[in-house]
Amino acid sequence: MKKGIWYALGAYVTWGLFPIYWKLLSGVPALQLLGHRIVWSFLLLFGIILVVRQGKLFQAALSWRVLLIYSVAGILIAINWLTYVWAVGAGYIVETSLGYFINPLLSVLLGVIFLRERLRPLQWLPIGLAAAGVLYLTFAYGSLPWVALTLAFSFGLYGLVKKTAPLGALHGLTLETGILFLPALGFLIFDEISGPGAFLHSSLTVDFMLVGAGLVTVAPLILFASAVKRIPLTLIGVLQYINPTMQFLLGVVIFKEPFDHHRLIGFGVVWFALILFGVEGFLAQRRFRRLPDRLQA
């Protein structure tokens, strides 16, 4: 279990430091960053499959149904990646953190709507509070926090699709990026021919970081997949807030993004909702453990 905690920490800390990486590439258009992220991620993942000799197993798992499921997943994760790299470069790191603070509560709501999962009465309160926080920010600034909502909904729907998907983490992500590989590669080639391509036309550091986009994408996902197998999901649920907390602190402290009293109130309501949701889940789990075995069966 100790090893699993370290894997989870590695994944969430890496994700938490993502704004620094993409901020260093803010001079590269977001669509190009997305293209490089897809292309190099697929090549790395496919290479891993070949090294571990799972090529035939991967091929045998393919069917039209599987391709359809992972095409939807690929589109959703591409929307999430594109929104994120654009937002970081445009100075919306704080709002990206809001998206990942909201995401767990949104995922619960999607489970109720699409999977007919049932919530305990007190679990509806934090979901309502999170919605109230978003509405406050909307009225305070005259527009929806669309970056946060796009990230939350795209990743929430991605998780919903993955919940019903048949492949494991390695094969699934390989297929998702593989479906997007040719369109992404075609776009990068077009940009290269038409002139604005950044790869091999910038500094060696930029070229190295564009290639490294595959590694920084794949590495935390592999760590996360390894962690999930070793530690309880309840612990994963607590540790997941390392990521948006780090992003929030980077946005406010390092990159000096504005955080006035309106944002403090809106974020505060969402944070309170998350605390309430966590406390309610903890107490419910303790009550369940105290039940006699015959009642749990």
- Does the pLDDT at position 196 exceed 90? no
Domain limits, the chain: 2-97+146-261
Residue type, 10: G
Confidence of residue 119 (pLDDT cuts 50, 70, 90): confident
pLDDT band (50, 70, 90) for residue 190 = very high
The band of 24, judged by pLDDT with boundaries at 50, 70 and 90, is very high
Q: What pLDDT, on a 0 to 100 scale, did the predictor assign at position 108?
A: 83
What secondary structure, in 3-state letters, does 45-84 show? HHHHHHHCCCHHHHHHCCCHHHHHHHHHHHHHHHHHHHHH
Element (H, E) at 213: helix 204-228
Count H helices, E strands: the chain? 14, 0
Confidence at residue 115, expressed as pLDDT on a 0 to 100 scale: 79
The Cβ-side half-sphere exposure at 154, using a 13 Å CA radius, reads 19
Using one digit for the tens of pLDDT, what is the confidence trace for 35-58?
999 999 999 999 999 999 998 888
For residue 55, CA distances in Å to 107, 119, 221, 225, 226 come to: 33, 41, 20, 20, 20
The pLDDT of residue 44? 95
Pick the residue with more confidence: 263 or 227? 263
Cα of 80 vs its chain's centroid, Å: 7
Hey, what are 54's tokens? 């799972």
The whole-model pTM stands at 0.89
Q: Is the pLDDT of residue 200 over 80?
A: no
Kindly indicate the confidence band of residue 88, based on its pLDDT and cuts at 50, 70 and 90.
very high
Which of 49, 74, 71 lies closest to 60, judged by CA?
Answer: 49
> Quick one: pLDDT at residue 234?
59
* pLDDT for the residue numbered 295: 45
Give the C-alpha separation, 290 to 288, whole Å. 5
* Mean pLDDT rounded to a whole number for the chain: 88
SS3 193: helix
Reading the block at residue 127, the tokens are 């979901």
CB distance 165 to 63 below 8 Å: no
Helices 146-163 and 93-115: crossing angle, nearest 10°? 40
Confidence of residue 292 (pLDDT cuts 50, 70, 90): low
| Contact between residue 25 and residue 88 where contact means Cβ atoms under 8 Å apart | no
Mean pLDDT of the 267-282 span? 87
Q: How many CB atoms lie within 10 A of CB 267?
A: 19
